[in-house]
Amino acid sequence: MFLTPFLAETRHLLRLCGPILVAQVAQTTMSFVDTVMAGQISATDMAAVAVATSFWLPIILLVQGVVMALTPIISQLNGARRHQEVAGAVHQGFWLTLLVMLPAWLALYFSPMVLHWMEVEPLLAEKTTGYLHGILWGMPAYALYQVLRNFSEGLSHTRPTMVIGFIGLAVNVPANYILIHGKLGLPRLGGVGCGYASALVFWAMLIAMVVYTQRSALLNRFGVFTALVAPDMARIGRIFRLGFPIAMAIFCEVTLFTVVALLLAPLGADVVAGHQIAINFSSLIFMLPLSLGMALTIRVGHSLGEGLAEQARMASMAGIGFGALLAIATALATALSRHWISGIYTDNGYVLELAASLLLLASLYQISDSVQVITAAALRGYKDTQVIFYITLVAYWLCGLPVGMVLGLTNWLVPAMGPHGFWLGFLVGLTIAACLLIWRLRTIYERVHHRDNAGLPLVDGL
């Protein structure tokens, strides 16, 4: 009896997940392209892209995380057939995005000051600053695109995200080439050109999503662009209270990797480049459980909106189980092909060997990473987001990072391991997070089960 609904939910999740996965891979491939094309100029240009990404990615994901609250809100409204409330939720998402964008933009603009405090070599600092000031111009477009993306995905309509991801990739490659190498009469910017190219990509994706939303029969019937609803601070506040813990949880995880990149920067461009290769490829693999998790949030939210508590629980179990099996396969593949993978990025012998050894450690944490991100996605479907933040804060910052610093930079337990010590810290933090999130999900199962047995509604309004 258990296996049949488990397999049925797995198939449903895979149908939702497929387009999301392709879109996420396309988006991550842009970072891969940036790294490879910048690396063809010099190791310093590659390192500049790595360090710049350590600044802009956490900040833009902080904004994106707040907007991600729209996915469970819209999926629950859709499941409950409260379609007349969807456009209002999207509009309040737009207003919220504008409110959080200004401080995010300012934070990114002034973030390169940290490089001077850390005494990063001048050329690396200069290229990193140029990249950041280039990508700044695309931040508003990226944030507004995420609102429309979450609107579409909340309705279980994930294919537009896939198509637009390819549009972004199609713009990224030629834009990189032109700006990096100074074609069409433009100055030769090297790795800095990747930042300006990314800004162009974000605007292209926003324009494409606006056009699709207007022309799609499924999306246009909700009237998102028919009449803009005025800001409602009470509703904006409710979205923010749901989305802010999501954003902070993402921020805590991403900044774990960000801080490590900054701590490694004084060790030289080659060390940062090797670390970046391992991070970049791990990010590609991470798209598998991340996409499955996004699909799971939609499925759980829709099931709760329909009042189907057991279906939501089964979907969560299917997502976590399938994700763990998939992670075992990717871990083995990464470990066995780590030297070949490193060789795609660079022909620098030292950087290649360092990256290959880090990829071996990366293969070890893929199971924990998969379980934690999928479990957190299930909790988002239940609109249980505050605990996710607390767990990630403890696991990553109070456990993972201190372990990494002790192993990587000190001789307290073993001779300083450099980047390898930090990657062992990643493994510790992700494993603790996975265990605590599973415990929380079991608690939520019991709470929703009691509400269902008592005849109480499983979801609330916006």
d(CA 378, CA 400): 23
Give the pLDDT score at 269: 76
Largest CA distance in the chain: 70
Residue 412's φ and ψ, nearest 5 degrees, are -65, -45
| Confidence check: pLDDT of 244 > 80 | yes
Inter-residue contact 179 to 194 (CB < 8 Å): yes
**Which region among 134-148, 157-171, 195-209, 264-278 has the lowest average model confidence (pLDDT)?**
264-278
Please indicate whether residue 11 or residue 268 has the higher confidence score (pLDDT). 11
Please indicate whether residue 45 or residue 222 has the higher confidence score (pLDDT). 222
| Confidence check: pLDDT of 459 > 70 | no
Inter-residue contact 63 to 138 (CB < 8 Å): no
**Residue 21: pLDDT band with limits 50, 70, 90:** confident
Q: Which two tokens stand for residue 114?
A: 């940290």
Report the alpha-carbon angle 209-58-107, nearest 5: 95
State the DSSP code for 308.
-
In this prediction, residues 43-57 reach a mean pLDDT of: 79
Q: Which residues contact 18 (CB under 8 A, 6 or more apart)?
A: 158, 162
Inter-residue contact 380 to 72 (CB < 8 Å): yes
d(CA 23, CA 169): 10
Cα dihedral 63/236/218/153 (nearest 10): 40
**Residue 82: pLDDT band with limits 50, 70, 90:** confident
State the DSSP code for 185.
T
C-alpha 74: how far from chain center: 20
| Confidence check: pLDDT of 5 > 80 | no
Inter-residue contact 458 to 448 (CB < 8 Å): yes
Report DSSP letters for 387-454, one per residue.
Answer: HHHHHHIIIIIIIIHHHHHHHHH--SSSS--THHHHHHHHHHHHHHHHHHHHHHHHHHHHHHHHHHHT
Cα dihedral 263/268/269/271 (nearest 10): -70
d(CA 242, CA 384): 8
Percent of the chain's residues with pLDDT above 90: 34
This prediction's pTM: 0.85
Please indicate whether residue 95 or residue 268 has the higher confidence score (pLDDT). 95
Give the pLDDT score at 249: 87
Please indicate whether residue 190 or residue 381 has the higher confidence score (pLDDT). 381
Query: How many residues does the structure list for the chain?
Result: 462
